[in-house]
């Protein structure tokens, strides 16, 4: 006998979506992941943020506060849970995506500044000496394109740290300067910030905060007419290695 022309519809799809979501809400992360491999329709259903919020609140660094506030609403909750679980269990793919030769600055010198990097969409931003270079990820996921798509410069010494916020790059360098670049444009600002290297920076709205080896943390204005003006200085007992503006503000 010849096979039937079409399979009978599953009685599962006769249930309303609210009931299907209720059933799925009893599944853990592993079961939801396996359910999404059955068919496209179940993959779409099992990927709903509503199902993953409960699981995400029990994961490390998944973007939810203790009160349940979502700090990363633009990223699917399922993806955040996957990254958190991979981080927790140490699962990763070891691969060299980019390498370059470096030479010692002075004889018998073995001190090199490690590059700082941030991934933003299809680009990897990487500090190399006194500049920041943007490399595009290969479409097949095999690595990075060989040549940078853009180069952001402005420091006379190595870039110590940079941050990407709202299509802007703010960097601190060993020359004590802070440089701000607009990624998709020619706009840039540079000003002297500290007496020694700027170890850390953060940027939000019209403010930049920075910390330095000179044992100070400073707040800078970027408002019109006050660009590069120091609004506040905090004296510390030691060099400042890390600084950040609260994302809840």
CA distance 131 to 181: 11
- Tell me the average pLDDT across 46-61: 89
Residue-wise pLDDT tens digits, 160-199 = 999 998 889 999 999 999 999 998 888 889 999 999 999 9
State the CATH class of domain 117-235.
Answer: mainly beta
**Tokens standing for residue 35:** 């359910």
Domain boundaries, the chain: 11-89, 117-235
Cβ pair 178, 201 in contact under 8 A: yes
What pLDDT is stored for residue 109 in this prediction?
43
Which helix (DSSP H) or strand (DSSP E) does residue 24 occupy? helix 17-24
Mean pLDDT value of segment 43-71: 87
Tally the residues of the chain.
Answer: 249
When pLDDT is cut at 50, 70 and 90, the band that residue 213 belongs to is very high
Q: Mean pLDDT, to the nearest integer, of 44-60?
A: 90
pLDDT-derived band of residue 112, with 50, 70 and 90 as boundaries? low
User: Shortest CA distance to 228 belongs to which of 157, 176, 156?
Assistant: 176
Of 87, 95, 183, residue with least CA distance to 144: 95
Query: DSSP state, 11?
Result: G
Residues 60-69: b if buried by 16+ CB within 10 A, e if exposed: eebbbeeeee
Angstrom CA distances, 143 to 60, 128, 218, stand at 27, 18, 38
pLDDT of residue 26: 93
- pLDDT of 152: 93
Q: Does the CA dihedral 152-157-163-165 come out positive or negative?
A: negative
- For domain 11-89, the CATH class is mainly alpha
Q: What is the pLDDT of residues 124-159, one digit of tens each?
A: 999 988 999 999 888 876 778 888 889 999 999 999
Give me the pLDDT at residue 176, please.
94
Structure tokens at 98: 């980019």
The per-residue pLDDT for range 67-81, each reduced to its tens digit, is 778 888 778 899 999
Q: Which residues have a Cβ under 8 Å from the Cβ of 203 and sit 6 or more positions away?
A: 163, 165, 168, 170, 180, 209, 245
Q: What pLDDT is attached to residue 5? A: 52
Whether 212 and 193 have beta carbons less than 8 Å apart is answered as yes
Taking alpha carbons only, the member of 244, 243, 180 closest to residue 215 is 243
Assign 28 to helix, strand or coil: coil
Supply the mean pLDDT for the chain. Answer: 85
């Amino acid at each position: 006998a010849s096979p039937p022309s079409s399979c009978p519809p599953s009685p599962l799809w006769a249930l309303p979506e609210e009931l299907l979501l209720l059933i799925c809400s009893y599944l853990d992360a592993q079961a939801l992941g396996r359910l999404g491999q059955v068919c496209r329709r179940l993959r779409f259903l099992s990927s709903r943020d509503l199902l993953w919020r409960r699981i995400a609140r029990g994961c490390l660094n998944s973007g939810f506060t203790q009160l349940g506030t979502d700090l990363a609403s633009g990223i699917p909750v399922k993806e955040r849970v996957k990254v958190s679980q991979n981080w927790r269990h140490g699962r990763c793919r070891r691969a060299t995506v980019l390498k370059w030769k470096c030479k010692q600055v002075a004889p018998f010198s073995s001190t090199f500044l490690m590059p700082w990097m941030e991934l933003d969409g299809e680009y990897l931003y990487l500090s190399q000496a006194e500049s920041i270079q943007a490399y595009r990820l290969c479409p097949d996921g095999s690595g990075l394109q060989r040549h940078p798509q853009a180069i952001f410069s402005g420091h006379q010494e190595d870039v110590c740290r940079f941050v990407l916020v709202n299509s802007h790059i703010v960097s601190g360098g060993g020359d004590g300067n802070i440089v701000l670049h607009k990624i998709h444009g020619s706009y840039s600002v540079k000003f002297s910030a500290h007496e020694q290297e700027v170890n850390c920076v953060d940027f939000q709205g019209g403010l930049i905060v920075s910390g330095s080896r000179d044992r100070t943390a400073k707040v800078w204005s970027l408002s019109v007419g006050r660009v590069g003006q120091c609004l506040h200085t905090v004296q510390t007992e030691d060099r400042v290695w890390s600084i950040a503006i609260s994302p809840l503000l």
